[in-house]
């Protein structure tokens, strides 16, 4: 195995490990983390660690403090508003594309995939890891809609929003009754698409995405 491949593997390992720790709340939000210390803990050099942190910063998971380390990115009202606005623009457009092609094999497969994810969300409500499983399926539901259009820039933008989406979703689902409401909105969305009612599907998606603003979760 060449040194370049080794370096790439170490970078991916560091990225995956830190991202997993962030998503599973193993890293605290108010702590300044040392790049050098983390590299030592993972048994890698600072170069692959630095590259993995740069990627995490680009994707919105962390804020790098030059010559100091990094801190986890915090969700602000401005972040949440701009993230929701971006999602409305992208997912709203994608919804209309799906609706216009609803009888195509590609759209029919999408609807089946969305039904499977809804079933996963429904079953997850009575499990010990209910929130984590529900949130994971919820993210996959929305990613599937965006991916349908096969727009590289959409996919890239959505990936960069994912951590803020995760924070927003986690906070919103902590509101009593919001899990059931989210599930109902997903079901309504798919039902409208199945009926060929693209405008109604678009409207329910806008209501769904903007709900955290109405819930005032911050």
Question: Quick check: 7 pLDDT over 50?
Answer: yes
Class for domain 3-72, per CATH? mainly alpha
CA distance 177 to 8: 44
Q: Which of 2-6, 15-19, 145-149, 179-183 has the lowest mean pLDDT?
A: 2-6
User: What count of other Cβ atoms lies within 10 Å of the Cβ of residue 153?
Assistant: 8
3-state secondary structure of 74: coil
Q: In whole angstroms, what is the distance from residue 204 CA to residue 160 CA?
A: 24
Q: Specify the pLDDT at position 4.
A: 40
Residue 36 near residue 46, CB atoms below 8 Å: yes
**3-state secondary structure at position 30:** coil
- Quickly state the pLDDT bin for 1 (edges 50, 70, 90): very low
Residue 5's pLDDT is 46
Structural element, H or E, at residue 64? strand 62-65
CATH code for the part of the protein at 77-215: 1.20.120.530
- The answer to pTM > 0.95 is no
Task: Quote the pLDDT of residue 218.
Answer: 64
The pLDDT score that the predictor gives to residue 125 is: 81
Give the pair of three-digit tokens for residue 16. Answer: 């995956």
Taking residues 189-204, report their average pLDDT. Answer: 97
Specify the domain boundaries for CATH 1.10.10.10 within the chain.
3-72
Determine the average pLDDT of the residues in 23-30. Answer: 87
Residue 199 CB-density burial (10 A; 0-12 exposed, 13-18 middle, 19+ buried): exposed
Q: What is the pLDDT of residues 93-147, one digit of tens each?
A: 999 999 999 999 999 999 999 999 999 999 988 766 667 899 999 999 999 999 9
pLDDT band of 18, cuts 50, 70, 90: very high
Residue 62 DSSP SS3: strand
Q: Where in the chain is the domain with CATH 1.20.120.530?
A: 77-215
Question: What digits encode the pLDDT tens for the residues 151-190?
Answer: 999 999 998 899 999 999 989 988 999 999 999 999 999 9
Contact 99, 193 (CB under 8 A): yes
| pLDDT score for 2 | 39
Contact yes or no for 139/108 (Cβ under 8 A):
no
Q: Which of 72, 35, 30, 40 is nearest to 50 (CA)?
A: 35
pLDDT at 83 over 60: yes
Q: Could you give the maximum distance between any two Cα atoms of the chain, in Å?
A: 56
Distance CA 49, CA 211 (A): 37
């Amino acid at each position: 195995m060449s040194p370049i491949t080794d370096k790439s593997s170490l970078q991916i390992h560091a990225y995956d490990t830190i991202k997993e720790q962030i998503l599973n709340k193993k890293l605290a939000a108010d702590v300044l983390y040392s790049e050098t210390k983390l590299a030592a803990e993972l048994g890698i050099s600072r170069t692959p660690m630095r590259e993995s942190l740069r990627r995490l910063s680009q994707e919105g998971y962390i804020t790098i403090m030059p010559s100091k380390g990094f801190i986890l990115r915090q969700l602000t009202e401005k972040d949440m508003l701009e993230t929701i606005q971006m999602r409305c623009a992208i997912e709203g457009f994608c919804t209309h594309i799906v609706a216009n092609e609803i009888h195509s094999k590609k759209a029919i497969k999408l609807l089946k995939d969305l039904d499977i994810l809804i079933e996963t969300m429904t079953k997850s409500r009575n499990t010990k890891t209910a929130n984590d499983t529900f949130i994971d399926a919820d993210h996959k539901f929305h990613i599937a809609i965006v991916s349908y259009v096969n727009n590289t820039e959409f996919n890239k933008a959505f990936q960069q929003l994912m951590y803020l989406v995760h924070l927003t979703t986690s906070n919103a689902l902590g509101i009593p009754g919001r899990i059931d409401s989210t599930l109902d909105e997903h079901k309504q969305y798919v039902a409208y698409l199945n009926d060929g009612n693209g405008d109604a599907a678009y409207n329910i998606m806008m209501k769904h995405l903007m709900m955290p603003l109405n819930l005032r979760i911050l």
